[in-house]
Amino acid sequence: MMSRIVLALGALLVFASPAAAAPVLLISIDGLRPGDVIDAPARGLKVPNLRRFLSEGTYADRVRGVLPTVTYPSHTTLITGASPARHGIFSNTTFDPLQINYSGWYWFASDIKVPTLWQAAAAGGLSVANVHWPVSVGAKGITWNLPQIWRSGHADDAKMLAALATPGLIPELETATGETYARGIDESIEGDENRGRFAVALIARHRPQFATVYLTGLDHQQHADGPGTPPAHGVLERIDTIVGTLIAAERKAYPGAVIVVVSDHGFAPIGHETNLFRAFIDAGLITLDAGGKVKNWEAMPWPSGGSAAVVLARPGDPALQARVAGVLTGLKVDPANGIATIAVKSEIAGMRGNPLASFFIDFQPGFSAGNFAAAAGGLATASHSKGTHGYFPARDTMQSTFMMIGPKIPKGRSLGVIDMRSIAPTLAAIMHVRLGGAELPALAY
């Protein structure tokens, strides 16, 4: 696998050549499997706007992602070129052993420990816009920012978002579109279509030289119904229409722009959940009070879909390490628990994953990690959704998407398998800006 990644990066370097800087529009379609574009006709998918990237541009057959293969760590890699071990976004949700943060996510860009493409573009004198990209609240370098954040779904979420967005931007675009901007918790295709129209209006009115746009409806539908299902295909076809409107808006603003479509991870069907919280409570590693809340803990799961990190209260305690290893090994023996791999700290470091984790569990296909709220239901249960991601990144089903078109981009060129960390430095090279912190060299283009 690594040799194929090196060869793909080498191919990109071979065809890359110095060219004038170009504006960039970066579109992320959460959960877009590469085969849903490359093999669209065989899968019965009508996605003409996405398919044109294959004939008119350059694309990867697959993109190998990061640990874990979930939205927030992956999107931060896409915008920095660094792995979670360096950029600091270790999961979707923050570590919350006492369960007091109301399932809070890594919304705040101040948690990113390395420079972003937004900052690099701004430092290079470019104007920057963002619509709904993960980990973008308070992000430096963004001229016009519509960040992603929610709390409860209450109407006050809209007030919070308006307070955190670029002042006056939401009212301006609501006037321009004649619509109310979608609430952050809205992950439906209708929410995507709304944000797509706001992105088109933003591009038309402000002509950002670097813009990021995030679409989440496909991920939402694949969780609900599973990947490759008719409802998921229907959502992707509607997203294809959104992509077409974004391409047209960007081409009108900048005929020479490079337009890039990425995704953060693949998707896999599931039917079972294994609740490590239940196992740790039963083993005495987590103690609950009379109200069922966490009172004390020695080891705590940190779930991420198809995998789960395990954090120890005393990571340097050999006795605690051995005790937790024994519990996990005991669970793995029973096939009903669906544990495929128990990675230890050195192996986690080799995958550039969460440095806070002493163990990282990868589940078997069809299994996922349960959350704390479901611990009362038992150790092994039917899953609450029909599809997920988050497994270790080497799995074929977790591979993601990269495609780009533009006047200077070679047409009909496949790069094979590439590393997700190569994308941000490639875009920095296209814009002729300097990105520090990327783990792979910036690719000349």
pLDDT in tens, 51-104: 999 999 999 999 999 999 999 999 999 999 999 999 999 999 999 999 999 999
pLDDT level of residue 11 (50, 70, 90 thresholds): very low
Task: Judge whether 388 and 42 are in contact, CB under 8 Å.
Answer: no
* Residues 218, 193: Cα–Cα separation, whole Å: 12
Residue 69 φ/ψ, nearest 5 degrees: -85, 65
Would you call 194 helix, strand, or coil by DSSP? helix
- The residue-averaged pLDDT of 338-359 equals 98
Kindly report which listed range (10-19, 34-43, 299-308) carries the lowest average pLDDT score: 10-19
Task: Judge whether 409 and 25 are in contact, CB under 8 Å.
Answer: no
CA-based nearest residue to 266, from 358, 387, 370, 185: 387
* Residues 28, 216: Cα–Cα separation, whole Å: 8
Task: Judge whether 432 and 121 are in contact, CB under 8 Å.
Answer: no
Longest dimension (CA), the chain: 66
- The residue-averaged pLDDT of 309-335 equals 98
Q: Which two tokens stand for residue 16?
A: 């890359």
Q: Examine the pLDDT at 417 and tell me if it is beyond 60.
A: yes
Task: Judge whether 16 and 445 are in contact, CB under 8 Å.
Answer: yes
* Residues 230, 338: Cα–Cα separation, whole Å: 28
CA-based nearest residue to 25, from 193, 206, 165: 206
For residue 441, the model assigns a pLDDT of: 81
For residue 442, the model assigns a pLDDT of: 65
- The residue-averaged pLDDT of 279-302 equals 98
Q: Give the pLDDT confidence of 218-243 residue by residue, as tens digits.
A: 999 999 999 999 999 999 999 999 99
- Strands of 50-139 (E only): list them: 58-59, 62-64, 128-131
For residue 443, the model assigns a pLDDT of: 54
Residue 255 φ/ψ, nearest 5 degrees: -55, -25
* Residues 404, 431: Cα–Cα separation, whole Å: 14
* Residues 393, 386: Cα–Cα separation, whole Å: 20
In percent, the amount of the chain with pLDDT more than 70 equals: 95
Helix axes 230-253, 189-206, angle to 10 degrees: 0
Would you call 404 helix, strand, or coil by DSSP? strand
For residue 3, the model assigns a pLDDT of: 43
- Please, what sign has the CA dihedral across residues 421, 423, 429, 431? negative
Q: Examine the pLDDT at 15 and tell me if it is beyond 50.
A: no
- The residue-averaged pLDDT of 267-278 equals 98
For residue 7, the model assigns a pLDDT of: 38
* Residues 228, 225: Cα–Cα separation, whole Å: 9
Would you call 322 helix, strand, or coil by DSSP? helix
Q: Which two tokens stand for residue 363?
A: 């589940």
- The residue-averaged pLDDT of 399-420 equals 96
Q: Give the pLDDT confidence of 158-168 residue by residue, as tens digits.
A: 999 999 999 99
* CA atoms lying within 13 Å on the CB side of residue 202: 31
- The residue-averaged pLDDT of 245-253 equals 98
Q: Which two tokens stand for residue 80?
A: 């920095």
Task: Judge whether 164 and 149 are in contact, CB under 8 Å.
Answer: yes
Task: Judge whether 439 and 86 are in contact, CB under 8 Å.
Answer: yes
Q: Which two tokens stand for residue 250?
A: 């960007």
Q: Examine the pLDDT at 276 and tell me if it is beyond 50.
A: yes
CA-based nearest residue to 269, from 366, 370, 400: 366
| CA angle, residues 176, 177, 180, in degrees to nearest 5 | 115
Q: Could you tell me whether strands 144-146 and 128-131 are parallel, antiparallel, or unpaired per DSSP bridges?
A: parallel
Q: Give the pLDDT confidence of 184-194 residue by residue, as tens digits.
A: 999 999 999 99
Task: Judge whether 209 and 127 are in contact, CB under 8 Å.
Answer: yes
- The residue-averaged pLDDT of 391-417 equals 97
Q: What is the pTM of this model?
A: 0.95
- Strands of 286-379 (E only): list them: 286-288, 294-297, 299-304, 307-312, 339-344, 359-363, 366-369
Give the domains, in start order, of the chain with CATH numbers: 2-267+395-431 (3.40.720.10), 270-388 (3.30.1360)
* CA atoms lying within 13 Å on the CB side of residue 86: 19
Q: What are the helix and strand counts (H, E) for the chain? A: 15, 20
- The residue-averaged pLDDT of 276-286 equals 98
Q: What is the CA radius of gyration of the chain?
A: 21
Q: Is the peptide bond before 425 cis (omega within 30 degrees of 0)?
A: no
Q: Which two tokens stand for residue 46?
A: 């009508």
